[in-house]
Amino acid sequence: MIYIFLAPGFEEIEAVVPRDVLKKANIDVATVSIGEKIVESTKGLKVISDMTINEVQIENVDGIILPGGMPGTSNLEKCEQLIEIIKTYAEKKLLIAAICAAPSILGKLGILSGKNACCFPDADIEKYLAGAKINSKDVNICENIITSKGPGTAFQFAFSIVEYIRGNEVRQKLSTGMQFSQ
């Protein structure tokens, strides 16, 4: 199971595209609100999450996805339960995927130190990628961490997660079927 954590002010495409692509790849995925079950995105889209963070069975999870957006990223970062989950996953070397501004959360926790990473290309966000080797790639896969730049890279991000979990053959078959080319 992969959990996509949602906080008020999340960026829609960064949550919905990975969910859709993972579902199409037959990967169990669920949306998790850090608060109320209905979560409003940065542009007013209201999503009914599959569960709240209090319902999460963290031992049954293979990985987590953190969409960006503002104030979504700030709201994720304020959630102490989520921060503990992130730390646990980092220690266990389980999948942590973050896009747009959300990699800043990982950077502030020291999880990106020495790793290739990217985030939304803005100095005010990049400054939080403490110790990371920031580069211009749209998506970076470094050990158990996947980072991506932002809304325009959501499909690349999602297909990279599929490849990480199910392998390149599944990624290629799915991307061909969805008419996605890189």
Q: Determine phi and psi for 140, rounding to 5 degrees.
A: -120, 135
Cβ neighbours, 10 Å, residue 160: 22
C-alpha count within 13 angstroms, C-beta hemisphere, residue 158: 27
Active-site position among 100, 118, 119, 142: 100
Q: Per-residue b/e over 68-105, b at no fewer than 16 CB within 10 Å?
A: bbeebbebbbebeebeebbeebbeeeebbbbbbbbbbb
Note if 118 is an active site residue: no
The alpha carbons of the chain give a radius of gyration, in whole angstroms, of 15
Q: Which of 118, 115, 152, 120 is nearest to 131 (CA)?
A: 115
Q: What residues are annotated to the active site?
A: 100
